[in-house]
Chain A
């Protein structure tokens, strides 16, 4: 039987899109949590961190309910935008964003919190808006945290299993990502395929993490990159 590499490609597509979306969502969210004090902040922090402790199947179960056209949220999406999130790639992206959210937000938040307050204040007294300050002063000075956030979110999405199984199922080319394909192959005693998928995932995960540690070590030594 020829090897089917589609699950691997699908996995990387999912991880890439998820990481992009997480950057867009994670940066403002981390800035909000790092810089502001408000009453609901502990609630938001707890919600962001939930995927760290919750079994993926719990998150998957509730998303399955929410996305289902039989329930209000799924029904509204379907009738208003003709969007069906359950057993679809878009649904996987939404689920992965929630699942990997803490891996992007936590490094960014602690990076921002570690900067001296006076950097932000100096930019403000120089007439710079909050947005300009964030992008031109704060983010360029937390590059190691940015690298960590991006790589961890990417790698964590690669390793997703329970959540994908719950809301995506096992549709070839749509929701069958590498982790599912491994499970599927092993179940049907196709150990050869399971081996190949597993080895590739293992190698790539190790290399990405190694890159983070090497890059961060270099950034830390130089204090700041040239």
Chain B
């Protein structure tokens, strides 16, 4: 259990914002912090990791005080056992993939290294340097490196934002698998609802530095109530076959064609995230954002 009660005056994009966060994050869950850019999401992660000082407040992680402005406690980042995945990956250019991972492991754990390389499908790239890797591969190295320290808390700052749709969907699945396996307490900063929908147990919605809503995806964003299976995907294109509009939707790795009514088709555009629910009446397609 992590309790965060902090306030900080921020200067985001030239405008002053007072960040004021008071929340608790359950252990072994993946909590997403959602908000538009400039809402202060990244600052929250940075303050938890000790890379930024709150003006005032308390940060406690499973009973240990990491920060307490009233008792003048502030552990340096080195003593907070977090795994931080940076938006720009921050891989060390002078080290190979393997060296990046081993550098992060306090006991130079070779067994863990092999495991991590395997889980993230990086074994073949172990001896390559970061600048020879693709975005998705870099992202996996960053994730694997963060996990090498066996962190108490995993902090992911927009981990998939810079990747193309297909890589994103693949990586999302990998993240999901890793989370299911390790049940690591994870905080995910994201402004992508479909990402949050498929990964997060709980969502905190932030606007202008304040929590405006927290709860499950449905509680925060409100979704259609269905009894059946719900899939999320992205509209790649809308085509017409014999005047019948058809949406080509990418779900995970698969392209699915969903026939639309003319009325639904006018409200949908390529690039939009949608949910597909299958009900007795037929397939219901609904915009996510």
- Residues of A at the B interface (CB closer than 8 Å) are 116, 118-119, 121-129, 136-137, 140-141, 223-224
Contact = CB atoms under 8 A, between A and B. Distances in A.
B77 A124 contact: yes
Nearest to B149: A126
B128 to A, nearest CB: 12
Contact of A125 (B77, B93, B94, B131): B77
A141 B93 CA distance: 7
Interface string B60-99: 0000000000000000111111111011101111100000
Interface residues of B, number: 27
Given A136-B103, A223-B131, A224-B129, A125 B84 contact: yes
B119 interface: no
Among B76, B79, B90, which residue has the most Cβ atoms of chain A within 10 A? B90
Given A127-B78, A127-B149, A122 B94 contact: no
Nearest to A137: B92
B51 A124 contact: yes
A137 B90 CA distance: 11
A136 B102 CA distance: 13
Interface of B: 49-51, 76-84, 86-88, 90-94, 103-104, 106, 129, 131, 145, 149
Given A121-B51, A224-B129, A116 B88 contact: yes
14 contacts: A116-B90, A118-B86, A121-B84, A122-B86, A122-B92, A124-B50, A124-B51, A125-B83, A127-B81, A127-B149, A128-B103, A129-B78, A136-B103, A140-B94
- Lowest 9 A-B CB distances belong to which pairs? A118-B90, A122-B90, A140-B94, A124-B77, A125-B84, A126-B104, A118-B86, A127-B78, A121-B51
A180 B103 CA distance: 50
A98 B92 CA distance: 34
A111 to B, nearest CB: 13
Nearest to B157: A118
Contacts of A224: 93-94, 129, 131
B147 to A, nearest CB: 11
Nearest to B92: A137
Contacts of A140: 94
B49 A126 contact: no
Given A223-B93, A224-B94, A224-B131, A125 B88 contact: no
B132 to A, nearest CB: 10
B76 A124 contact: yes
Among A118, A129, A137, which residue has the most Cβ atoms of chain B within 10 A? A118
Contacts of B79: 127
Contacts of A119: 90, 92
Contacts of B77: 121, 124-125
Contact of B51 (A125, A126, A129, A137): A125
Contacts of A128: 78, 103
Contacts of A123: 92
A116 B84 CA distance: 15
Contacts of B81: 127
B61 to A, nearest CB: 14
A137 B94 contact: yes
A141 B92 contact: yes
A140 B92 CA distance: 10
Given A116-B90, A125-B83, 12 more contacts: A116-B88, A121-B77, A122-B145, A123-B92, A124-B51, A124-B77, A124-B78, A125-B49, A125-B80, A125-B82, A128-B78, A224-B131
A101 B91 CA distance: 32
B233 to A, nearest CB: 32
Contacts of B90: 116, 118-119, 121-122
A119 B103 CA distance: 13
A9 to B, nearest CB: 36
